[in-house]
Structure 1
Amino acid sequence: MTSTLSSPAAASGDTVRTLHHWSGGQRLDGASGRFSDVTDPATGAVTARLPLASAEETAVVIETAKAAFPAWRDTSLAKRTQILFRFRELLNAHAGELAEIITSEHGKVVSDAAGEVARGQEVVEFACGIAHLMKGSATENASTRVDVHSIRQPLGVVGIISPFNFPVMVPMWFFPVAIATGNTVVLKPSEKVPTAALRIAELWAEAGLPDGVFNVVNGDKTAVDTVLTHPDIASVSFVGSTPIAQYVYETGTAHGKRVQALGGAKNHMVVLPDADLDLAADQAINAGFGSAGERCMAISALVAVGDIADTLVGKIADRARALRTGDGRRGCDMGPLVTDAARERVSGYIDAGVGSGATLVVDGREGEFDADGSGFFVGPTLFDHVSTEASIYTDEIFGPVLSVVRVDTYDEAVDLVNSSPYGNGTALFTNDGGAARRFQNEVEVGMIGINVPVPVPMAYYSFGGWKNSLFGDTHAHGTEGVHFFTRGKVVTTRWLDPSHAGVNLGFPTNA
């Protein structure tokens, strides 16, 4: 299939594309008359106009998905899997193209964007084994000549509301499993980064997915609220900030929907005195400043235990100053923030950090950035001697700001992590196996890394945090994801007479 999307990376000057929605296997032009700008964060240039769907337009897309559901639900697992495998191969073939799209609209460096695509692909590969994952159980002669078996069936039309920071990976936490289990999908991507979702829709069509099974509606709060309240949406999956996650959860469940809403985070990295400090410094840089800190799993608070802080802070500072920040297509280490508003917000937090009395070791607002135009840049920023009352410690900044908090003991470090209202991810750096085992048992967080700074689990496990980092009971992908997108039935049967199917010497198939 030839893409209907011109390359965002090629858009410049007066070349501004007008984007669209995707419904029923084809592009759907916006009709609301409302648009928002899509920008290149490295240059500040507007590269596209995005139609913002009205409630009526969103409802039309939902109805299209509803109409496609019965046939897709009844499509055999064998045929669904064949389409998933074809989609997997197309993703592999177009991974570089998708990475370039991500960089052009989000700003992360191309290598980071390629990693995002690869991690999303893992969920597709997990979903390719859906036939095994959908197996039920059976009991013969539960009572005399009575058998019992269980089955799992799809929900119907499922809504996915995805964030700007992972335009490919986060939607792919959900839709491969949703589609594999027999649901139809309405995806509402972030209006800041819409093009990757539209390109993925084209790839699904090329893979042979029936029209209406995967749909994309672009929009703002109007589209979100329609997805949350429309009676034909059975479930909603969301990733974003905690206040919005709570709103999505409360609104969706109030309208009878199954909801998994993954919220914000304040992830700690605890470094014990016995740790390899060079390794810890390297990983603090990687986890704190990768993707310009715009990750829900970013390390933003480093807890230095004992007398290692001076040495560790020095090592991190040296590495931070050596990083090159600029256009992600130029081989830089770190790219821009996604919007100018994000840049202003992060700069405001740096001001607040200085005002709180913390020591500003590396100021990311200083220096030159390797880019053309007026990009949205803040370089790696490092604070030391941070108070736990300061906003740079308590708030999710979502930018390249790493705060070092000093404590005397392991117990103080664990108490610090556990007192946070968030519980998404945390990491411990140590060479002491006993300390590591105790930490993973005592810490109140959903995802834990031992000498691993960003402990995002593989697709066959499930992703999600505790406390204010998750609203709902079910995590993303893995077996929990399969259960989220299906409902269970238990069937009790009694057959009094045998039946005869007749003679057929042909080889049986699973079609």
Structure 2
Amino acid sequence: MAHTITHWCDGKPFTGTSGNTAPVTNPASGQTTGQVALAGLEDARTVIQAAEAAFPSWRDTSLTRRTQIVFRFRELLNERKGELARIITAEHGKVLSDALGEVSRGQEVVEFACGMPHLLKGGMTENASTKVDVHSIRQPLGPVAIISPFNFPAMVPMWFFPLAIAAGNTVVLKPSEKDPSAALWMARLWAEAGLPPGVFNVLQGDKTAVDELLENRAIKAVSFVGSTPVAQHVYATATAHGKRVQALGGAKNHMVVLPDADLGLAADAAINAGFGSAGERCMAISVLVAVGDIADALVEKIAERAASIRTGDGAQNSDMGPLVTRAHRDRVAAYVDAGEAEGAALVVDGRQITVEGARDGFWLGPTLLDHVTAEMSVYTDEIFGPVLSVVRTDSYDAALELINANPYGNGTAIFTNDGGAARRFQNEVEVGMVGINVPIPVPMAYYSFGGWKNSLFGDTHAHGTEGVQFFTRGKVVTTRWADPSHAGIELGFPQNA
């Protein structure tokens, strides 16, 4: 019998009162493995109230104590990350090595948050004016919401909640209802690490839960990662209700290959970045831009490598797992149908792939389309699947113009042995994250993650110093102690002297 996946409220599991649930499936088998509780309005408010009640005490907990708990969480996560990876594979479908990589990248932000005593240090000027001192501090906002996508059920929440918690905020995490168990696992780990009840909460649900997080007065800030239309809604709604928002949207990431590049290395990179996690990454390379006369040779190399990829159960010995749901698998396949109908050349077709012993899994193998143009839907839309489109251009300038004209600006890469061309590209391309001979340029935790244009709504990127600033607000204190020489009335504007 499928088990119920609950909320986490005030330090313990919380079933809720709505009675509504949604099925959670194993994408490799197609079988329902659980039923996740979907919050009603009162359930959402109960969880938010727990975060609100816990905030004053947590805000006033010493920075040393907060950091000790974050460090303990880091140690426990390091010891048990294999367990979390298996949960991710069972509900999302990505292969186990990829799930372990996801946890490790999230843990980098946890480790960065362990440095919060240094990150929150303010400045101080003695005698800024005669016998007047000035110092700056950063303080937490209050309860904050994190709305996380299905493709990284552990890493994306860890982009946000370690910094939010270490800085003194309380958190309500709303994971995807497609793979909700990782969030509960992390909640239990926080409790074991010694985090007080109410500081980290999990609200399972759908639009009802999301809308309450965007509108409830107790929530002071919202971090969101997902598709661009939803990111726009989140940003517009939450800011209209007076909240601070960072909403990371969709992507259409291009990888430019110049004629001087090592085509073997470029082909490997295109395979890894295009088909890793079945293409369900916001940083996946979905468009390869072949410059000059290298396209035929490069497409041939990619096709050879794609044919060798083993698609199967992520918990077994496979290179690429299934897509997250049957509906999503069919949506991706429909884009391949459309690309072929619009005139793209289908070089590798993953639509008919079957996996022995798992015919009901949500399978779609690596797919390669050549001679794609900017008018085709496989180019204009974010597909979020293992579909790599090849666009041919005559020159570097044409490749750059193609990328800069795209409404998305999340990530991009260039493969070349020409340092001058690479330097020019990093300067001229209108994209937030750039890789030079690196196909997936996700920055380390002490830098910040985020794109440009329709890939980001709000001014603040995730993690790094921008993440610390997002979850805190600055205050400047000017101090002068009573002195007889200060007596008297003076209505003029204060001046430094």
TM-score (norm 2): 0.97
User: Structure 1, residues 280-309: CA drift from partner, whole Å, max 9, x if none?
Assistant: 000000000000000000000000000000
Give the corresponding residue for 1:284. Answer: 270
Match of 1:503 in 2: none
Mean Cα displacement is larger for which, 26-35 or 198-207? 26-35
1:188 aligns with 2:174: yes
Q: Report if aligned partners of 2:353, 2:364 keep a CA contact under 8 Å in 1.
A: no
Within the candidate set 206, 209, 216, 1:223 is matched to: 209
Measure the CA separation in 1 of the matches of 2:141 and 2:4: 34
Which residue number in structure 2 is paired with residue 350 of structure 1? Answer: 336
- Cα distance in 1 between the residues matched to 2:126 and 2:363: 65
CA distance in 1, matches of 2:271, 2:129: 62
Q: How many aligned residue pairs are there?
A: 483
Residue 17 of structure 1: how far off its partner (Å): 0.8
Superposed displacement of residue 370, structure 1 = 4.6
Equivalent position of 1:124 in the other structure: 110
Residues 166-185 of structure 1: matches in 2 within 5 Å? 166-185=152-171
Where does residue 507 of structure 1 map in the other structure?
none
Q: Residue 296 of structure 1 aligns with which residue?
A: 282
In structure 2, the partner of 1:105 is: 91
CA distance in 1, matches of 2:92, 2:437: 29
Per-residue CA distance 1:119-138 (angstroms, 9 max, x = gap): 00000000000000000001
Q: Is the CA contact (8 Å cut-off) linking 2:353 and 2:363 kept in structure 1?
A: no
**Which residue is equivalent to 1:9?**
none
Give 1:59's aligned residue: 45
Alignment of 1:340-489 (within 5 A): 340-489=326-475
Q: State the partner residue of 1:137.
A: 123
Alpha-carbon distance, 1:496 to partner: 3.7
- State the shift of 1:103 in Å: 0.4
Aligned to 2:81: 95
Give the equivalent residue in structure 2 for 1:3: none
Please give the secondary structure, in 1, of the residue aligned with 2:85: helix
* Distance in 2 (alpha carbons) for counterparts of 1:368 and 1:294: 19
- With over 3 angstroms needed to count, the CA separation of the structure-2 counterparts of 1:18 and 1:51, relative to structure 1, is same
Find the aligned partners of 2:99 and 2:80 in 1 and give their Cα distance: 13
Asked whether the 8 Å contact 1:327–1:370 carries over to 2, the reply is no
Task: Please state whether the residue corresponding to 2:264 is helix, strand or coil.
Answer: helix
Task: Give the structure 1 partner of residue 492 of structure 2.
Answer: none
Indicate if the aligned counterparts of 2:447 and 2:464 stay in contact, CA closer than 8 A: yes
CA distance in 1, matches of 2:329, 2:195: 40
Q: Which amino acid aligns with 2:291?
A: V
Task: Choose the corresponding residue for 1:332, options 302, 318, 334.
Answer: 318
Q: Residue 241 of structure 2 aligns with which residue?
A: 255
Distance in 2 (CA, whole Å) between partners of 1:44 and 1:190 is 18
**CA shift for structure 1 position 31:** 1.3
Mapped pair 1:32 → 2:18: yes
Distance of 1:483 and 1:78 partners within structure 2: 19
1:287 and 1:367 mapped to 2: Cα distance?
Answer: 20
Match for residue 243 of structure 1 among 229, 234, 239: 229
CA contact (8 A) 1:324 1:369 kept: no
Residues 344-389 of structure 1, C-alpha deviations (whole Å, 9 max, x = no match):
1011000000011010000001333255240001000000001110
- Answer whether contact 1:326 1:371 (CA < 8 A) is retained: no
Aligned partner of residue 289 in structure 2, secondary structure: strand
Distance (whole Å) between structure 2 residues aligned to residue 140 and residue 474 of structure 1: 31
CA contact (8 A) 1:292 1:337 kept: yes
SS at match of 1:233: coil
CA contact (8 A) 2:289 2:393 kept: yes
> Contact (CA 8 Å) 2:460, 2:466: kept in 1 or not?
yes
1:3-42 paired onto structure 2 within 5 Å: 15-42=1-28
Residue 494 of structure 2: aligned partner: none
Structure 2 residue corresponding to 1:264, chosen from 250, 254, 259:
250
**What CA distance in whole angstroms lies between the structure 2 residues aligned with 1:101 and 1:393?**
33
Partner amino acid, structure 2, of 1:494: R
Q: 1:440 & 1:128 partners in 2: Cα distance?
A: 32
Residue type at the aligned position of 1:416: L
- Paired residue for 1:203, among 189, 192, 212? 189
Distance 1:445 1:233 in 2: 31
Q: How far is the alpha carbon of 1:489 from its aligned partner? A: 0.2
The one-letter amino acid paired with 2:64 is A
Distance 2:310 2:378 in 1: 23
- Quote the offset at 1:30 in angstroms: 2.5
Q: Secondary structure at the match of 1:94?
A: helix
CA distance in 2, matches of 1:371, 1:436: 47
Is the contact made by 1:22 and 1:28 (CA closer than 8 Å) also made in structure 2? yes
Counterpart in the other structure of 1:79: 65
Paired residue type of 1:466: W
Q: Name the % identity.
A: 73
Any stretches of 5+ residues in structure 1 without a counterpart? Answer: 1-14, 498-511
Give the match for residue 310 of structure 1. Answer: 296
CA distance in 1, matches of 2:373, 2:5: 46
**Structure 2 residues without counterparts, runs of 5 or longer:** 484-497
Q: For 1:82, what is the secondary structure of its paired residue?
A: helix
Q: Deviations over 1:20-48 (max 9, x none)?
A: 11011001112101110000000000000
Q: Is the Cα contact below 8 Å between 2:412 and 2:433 reproduced in 1?
A: yes
